[in-house]
Amino acid sequence: LLPLPKKKKNSINMNNFTLTTPQGNKKIKIPQGRHEVSYSQWIEAYKYIVLGEEAQQDLDNNEHAKASRKAIESMARIVSALSNAEYKDVINLTPDKLNNLFLLYFDWLNKELPKKEHKIKNRIFVIPDFTKGSAGDFMDSMDLLGMVEDSKNDIELGLTIASVYLKEKKDKGEYKQDLEEIEKTKQFIKDNAKMDVLYSCAFFFLNFSKDLKPLIQQPLEVREELEKLISNLNGWVTILYSQVSQKVDY
């Protein structure tokens, strides 16, 4: 059983649940948004969006049983990756309860909006506004792409992008050119920032780089990483499950 959590008014803490399993009751915490999800959790969850995509293909091919199984596994894997619940416990929920859990408590995957200013451990970071298209901003972005391209084998590519792209507000819009300082910023973001920061960075940088597409060739690794960071992790899979459940008997 998965009872509704007790939440305080204006609570910023994770949703708390009691999950009944064959081994007994377990306390689990489910994030209320990207601000409670780490980079490593997001990367783990991203592995399983392929299951939702395959479920859609199976549905299109009228293979309803396959589509149902993959939709269920996709939701269970993502719930487990983004929370502290074990997959073996999440998959023990009935399909309808799992679908309701994903629909009600992970709806933020489709609703959250990026922000241009973030406070991290009392340090305020801002995302540059490239809409004015100044020459200086253009050169800064070119330098950024070059630095990120050099790090294309970095398994923490999203953190590398953010460490160069973010500006600290106290620096009055100036980019740090010192590689050692950039590495310190990267470690600070890794230790303290959550996915809302990386999501915002990826959203605005991707939009800016699209505008520059005729002028620069964006490295494939960069584009793939940006799309990974702004993904909704197949938040629509609940709709697919509902479509399939009308055609499959459990």
The upper half-sphere exposure of residue 106, i.e. CA atoms within 13 Å in the direction of its Cβ, equals: 26
Question: Cα 78 to chain center, whole Å?
Answer: 11
Q: What is the pLDDT averaged over residues 74-93? A: 94
pLDDT-derived band at 244 (thresholds 50, 70, 90) equals confident
**Tens-digit pLDDT profile for residues 194-209:** 999 999 999 988 887 7
**Tens-digit pLDDT profile for residues 125-184:** 998 776 665 666 666 666 766 766 666 566 788 898 888 888 888 876 566 667 788 888
Burial of 181 (0-12, 13-18, 19+ CB in 10 A): exposed
Contact predicate 30/17, CB 8 Å: yes
Q: What is the pTM for the complete model shown? A: 0.84
Q: Indicate whether 9 pLDDT > 50.
A: no
**Average confidence score pLDDT of the chain:** 83
Share of the chain above pLDDT 90, in %: 47
237, 242, 243, 249: CA torsion to nearest 10: 120
Output the pLDDT for position 46: 95
pLDDT-derived band at 249 (thresholds 50, 70, 90) equals low
Q: Indicate whether 30 pLDDT > 70.
A: yes
Q: Which residue has the higher pLDDT, 130 or 213?
A: 130
